[in-house]
């Protein structure tokens, strides 16, 4: 039986990237601006829907810029067992709360 308390930090899937963007209430344009990439890059990334497509969709340097934008907001991507996990640190939770409608 696999220990589900073990978390493996890994490159995120496209679904994890979209989930994190949604959690922060960022538009595609906001993510592009924060990562210093074009909006077309974010649209192309989110259009790719296979796990393996991530590496084929972006250059490593571009993916790094996107991941750094999330890291600055306190978001980490991981796997726990067979599940994909998005870890929202305190700064991400504050950012998300400030973006919610009241």
Q: What's the pLDDT tens digit per position in 10-31? A: 678 888 899 999 989 999 999 9
Q: How far apart are CA 26 and CA 30, in angstroms?
A: 5
The whole-number pLDDT of residue 39 equals: 96
Residue 66: CB atoms within 10 A of its CB come to 23
Cα 100 to Cα 67, 80, 93, 95: the distances in Å are 23, 28, 11, 9
Other CB atoms closer than 10 Å to residue 92's CB: what's the count? 21
* pLDDT for res 101: 40
């Amino acid at each position: 039986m696999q220990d589900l308390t073990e978390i493996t930090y890994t490159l995120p899937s496209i679904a994890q990237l979209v989930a994190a963007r949604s959690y922060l209430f960022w538009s595609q344009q906001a993510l592009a601006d924060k990562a210093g990439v074009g909006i077309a890059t974010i649209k192309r990334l989110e259009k790719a829907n296979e796990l393996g497509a991530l590496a084929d969709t972006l250059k490593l340097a571009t993916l790094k810029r996107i991941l750094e934008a999330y890291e600055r907001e306190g978001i980490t991507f991981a796997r726990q067992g067979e599940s994909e996990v998005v870890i929202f640190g305190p700064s991400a939770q504050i950012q998300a709360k400030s973006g919610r409608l009241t």
